[in-house]
Amino acid sequence: MSVNEISGLIIGIIVFLGSVLSLISAIGLVRLPDIYTRSHAATKSATLSVLCILFGLFLFFTVIKDYVSARILLGIVFVFITAPVGGHLISRAAYHSGVSLWESSIHDELNGKKDKQHTSS
């Protein structure tokens, strides 16, 4: 096997790992019981999967094609910054718009602090 074949195999395995993480995240999005646990599934593992796949793409064009692309690095940084912010914003909007927790949830930190936070913000 030449160097290109071995690095191609490694890149294929990284991309495959990212796609499996994406499938796990989709299964979590369907199976979990309420919006807050679903946001846990949809933001963390989906972000990790897209980071894996973009890193594989960067490795492919760097090692095999000899083309270092700054746009992929920019995409990695942008996704890594914005995905947790989006998940946090939508969970906050869900709590303030009164979406109820799962009935087996035992603890609610924000319970009773909702009005005070609204007047201060």
Partner 1 sequence: MMNLLLHISAVIIAVSILIALYRVAKGPSMPDRVIALDMIGINLISLVAVVSLILETTAFFEVMLLLGILAFIGTVAFSKFIEKGVVIERKRD
**Interface positions with partner 1 (CB under 8 A):** 5, 8-9, 11-13, 15-16, 18-20, 22-23, 25-27, 29-30, 35, 38-39, 42-43, 46-47, 49-50, 53-54, 56-57, 60-61, 65, 67, 69, 71-72, 74-75, 78-79, 82-83, 85-87, 89-94, 96-97, 99
Tell me the C-alpha distance between 19 and 79, whole Å. 16
Task: Supply the minimum distance, in Å, between the C-beta of residue 110 and partner 1.
Answer: 14
Contacts of residue 29, defined as CB under 8 A and 6 or more positions apart, other chains included, come to 38, 41, 42
Task: Supply the minimum distance, in Å, between the C-beta of residue 94 and partner 1.
Answer: 4
Task: Supply the minimum distance, in Å, between the C-beta of residue 119 and partner 1.
Answer: 13
Tell me the C-alpha distance between 38 and 40, whole Å. 5
- The SS3 call for residue 109 is coil
Task: Supply the minimum distance, in Å, between the C-beta of residue 97 and partner 1.
Answer: 5
Residue 46, Cβ density class (10 Å: 0-12 exposed, 13-18 middle, ≥19 buried): buried
